[in-house]
């Protein structure tokens, strides 16, 4: 069993309670009406699929039903951190050990995946 930390509930819960929803931090075009068909298609359908550290959008479907972000290593499936919507990750491909910041405690929960 794999456990995931919900940053809203503040608990580690079973993986069956969560569902991945795709890539996180996708910026919507500022003016969709002025967007070309190609740019709009890129926004709707094309996502990054890196090997290594990746930021994903997840939902706690069976719990609080809130969306949150996960930083995950796509090679090992290890979850490196979870953080609330609107927050920025502390772990990135450029800073795999975690980016030092003044408000790191408020930015997300660094953790290792827990297996039982």
CB 114 within 8 A of CB 1: no
Distances (CA, A) of 35 to 16, 44, 72, 114: 38, 12, 31, 43
**Mean pLDDT in residue range 25-45:** 93
Q: What is the pLDDT of residue 104?
A: 46
Confidence of residue 100 (pLDDT cuts 50, 70, 90): low
Tokens of 23: 């890539």
pLDDT exceeds cutoff 80 at 105: no
Q: What is the pLDDT of residue 13?
A: 97
Q: 115 or 85, which is more confident?
A: 85
**Mean pLDDT in residue range 23-50:** 93
Question: Can you give the pTM of this predicted structure?
Answer: 0.79
């Amino acid at each position: 069993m794999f456990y995931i930390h919900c940053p809203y509930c503040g608990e580690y819960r079973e993986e069956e309670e969560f569902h991945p929803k795709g890539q996180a931090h996708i910026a919507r075009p500022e003016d969709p009406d002025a967007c070309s068909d190609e740019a709009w298609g890129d926004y709707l359908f094309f996502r990054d699929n890196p090997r290594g550290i990746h930021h994903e959008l997840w939902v706690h479907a069976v719990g609080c039903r809130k969306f949150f972000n996960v930083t995950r290593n796509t090679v090992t499936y290890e979850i490196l951190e979870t953080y609330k919507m609107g927050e920025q990750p502390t772990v990135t491909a450029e800073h795999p050990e975690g980016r030092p910041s003044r408000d790191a405690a408020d930015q997300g929960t660094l953790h290792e995946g827990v297996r039982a």
